[in-house]
Copies of this chain bind each other. A is one copy, B any other.
Amino acid sequence: MARRIIGSTPKLDGFRMPAEFEPQSEIFMIWPEYTGNWRLGAKPAQAAYTNVATAISEFEKVTMLVSARQFEHCRAMLPNHIRVVETTSDDAWCRDTGPTFLVNDNGERRAVDWKFNAWGGLVDGLLPSWDHDDLIARKICEITDTDSYRTDNFVLEGGSIHTDGEGTVLTTKMCLLSQGRNPHMSQEQIENMLCEYLGCEKTLWLTDGIDPDETNGHVDDVACFIRPAEICCIDTDDVNHPFYEAAKKAQQELALMTDAKGRKLKIHKLCCTKKTVLMENAETIDNRFSAKPRTTGELCIASYCNFLICNGAIIVPQYDDENDALALSQISDMFPDRTVVGVPTREIVYGGGNIHCITQQVPKI
């Protein structure tokens, strides 16, 4: 059963997006292969994804989606207990192309299949084509037998939202009001869409993300709910750090907000890398006529906040940076009941995201 639900919304039907810290049944990922985005034929990225998937799989079931071309190689690279299912994709960002799973109070699961246009479509999108990626959510719904709602007139990526599971959605204006997403809609209309499709009551709008060029400022590099009314937000006191301004501004904005239940938010600060992470050997990425090329030395959006919360653990990016250990320790303090696992992911940040961007959780029912 993977029906399309027509003529209703999740909210009308009593469904809500649970918070990431609620119990999960499975994590989906997509095997990196696109040599127009990944260095050296995507081989270093495949090794990094393997490490991430393996780390998660110590705590929770993992399914890796992979093209027919890479099926045998991917199957051979991953541990046996990770499931590998053939699925064609344009690139490997399951947070953004996968479905947003929902639950209701009767223990049922549904999903939202958002229209996907590669982070900005013809305005400032990042892929030459995204027809395969726009089918990823549907295909995951088929694999998991999940009924879904499709938003044919509303573009969204999962990395641009976080929820607290209790009626609040957190996002950024930089992304959701961008010209490449839903320029036909007002902020209020977008807020209504979020609330209808995530089963929420209130939208908290940060102004900016830290990644204006690629994702147009996805919130998942800046802040996330760690439990109801408590938020992790990036922080640095280095005024020369490229994320300094956005971090301080986000903290100030969060300090003035209340959630859907009227609670003020407790903010937990999470460090940034000491050194910026800069692109290396961009010449090993395939040339593309259709997109702005990556260049050696350009700033990569290396945030420790792009971690995944899974059952019993937090899987955290590590950048071979002086602050790696501090980040792990701060996150451990935020999640005293979970194991915090660092995974080296410089190669993934070279591709434009990190652990949260490449994973998608299926809530437990």
Contacts and interface: CB of A to CB of B under 8 A. Distances in A.
Contacts of A84: 2, 142
**Copies of this chain present:** 2
Interface stretch (A30-38, A85-93, A235-243, A248-256): A85-93
B3 A81 contact: yes
Contacts of A186: none
A3 B145 CA distance: 23
A132 B68 CA distance: 8
A3 B135 contact: no
9 contacts: A2-B83, A3-B80, A3-B81, A75-B142, A83-B142, A84-B142, A85-B85, A85-B142, A86-B139
B139 A85 contact: yes
Contacts of A86: 86-88, 139
Contact of A88 (B3, B68, B132, B145): B68
A152 to B, nearest CB: 14
A320 interface: no
Interface of A: 1-4, 68, 71-72, 75, 80-81, 83-88, 132, 135, 138-139, 142-143, 145
A195 B205 CA distance: 65
Contacts of A80: 1-4
A115 to B, nearest CB: 15
A116 to B, nearest CB: 15
A47 B154 CA distance: 33
A109 to B, nearest CB: 15
A310 B3 CA distance: 23
Contacts of A3: 80-81
Given A71-B139, A85-B85, 15 more contacts: A1-B80, A1-B81, A1-B83, A2-B83, A2-B84, A3-B80, A68-B68, A68-B88, A72-B135, A75-B142, A83-B143, A83-B145, A86-B87, A86-B88, A86-B139
A138 to B, nearest CB: 8
Which 4 A-B pairs give the minimum distances between C-beta atoms? Answer: A68-B88, A3-B80, A86-B87, A84-B142
